Amino acid sequence: MNITTKGPRVEEASGVLIMLHGRGASAENIIARYDLLQHNRVAALAPDAPGGVWYPYSFMAPIAQNEPALSNALDTVRSMVDDLMARGVTSRKIALFGFSQGACLASEFVARNPRRYGAVMALTGGLIGAEGELPERDGNLEGTPVFLGASDPDPYIPFSRVQETATTLEAIGATVQLERYPGMSHIIHENQLAVCRHLLDRMEEDA
C-alpha cells in the first residue's frame, strides 16, 4: 500500500489525520489540502486507491456490485487505524478526512467500525449502498464529532443520502454537524475547511 505523508512523524504528532481522496484523484491530490487545514502538529497519512478508484461503481449502487474493491478499501483504512493504535495513538487522536468517494469511504468505515475517533470530516459524501439497502448499524461512536458538509444539488451525491447518513451516525452515538451548501460545485470549499479546522482544534485540545 502506497501512503503519502506530511507533517510531523506520528510519534511526535498531536494527532493523526487519515486523508482519503476522491474518484480519479490521488493521495498527492488530497494531501495538498493539509496546509490549508493549518494544523502542522498533526501528522497526515494519505493512502492511494488502486488506479485512483476505491470502488468501481456509484456509492449508491448495490453493495455487491462494488465488491471486492469496497471491502479492500475498508480494509486499507482499518489496517491504518490498527497500525496507529498499535503504535500508541489512541482512536481519540485519529481523525478521518475524505472528499467525494473518499468521504463515502470514511463514512462507511466509521459506521462499520464504531469507536470514539478524534473527528470524521466527510465532504460531499455519505454511506454506501443502494436505496433501501443500508443496514441497521450497531456499536457506539461515543460522541465522535462528525462533519457532513455537502454541495446541493450535486451531480454525484444526493443530499438526501447525506441527511440519511447524519441520522444513521447520530443513532450510533456520533455528534453530527450537517451543513448544506446550495449551488456549490463538487469541490472542497473554504467554508468546509473552516469547520474541519475547528474539529482538529478540538481533537488537539482533547487530553
- Percent of all residues in the chain with a pLDDT value above 90, rounded to a whole number: 96
Average pLDDT, the chain: 96
pLDDT score, position 1: 76
- What digits encode the pLDDT tens for the residues 149-185? 999 999 999 999 999 999 999 999 999 999 999 999 9
pLDDT score, position 147: 98
pLDDT tier for residue 75 given thresholds of 50, 70 and 90: very high
69-80: average pLDDT:
98
Q: With contact defined as beta carbons under 8 Å apart, do 20 and 47 qualify? A: yes
- What digits encode the pLDDT tens for the residues 7-53? 999 999 999 999 999 999 999 999 999 999 999 999 999 999 999 99
Q: How many CB atoms lie within 10 A of CB 15?
A: 22
pLDDT score, position 207: 52
> For the structural domain made of 3-205, what CATH number should be given?
3.40.50.1820
Distance (Å, whole) CA 158 – CA 176: 18
195-207: average pLDDT:
92
- 16 backbone φψ class: left, alpha, beta (φ>0; ψ -120 to 50): beta
Residue identified by cell 497526515 is: 44
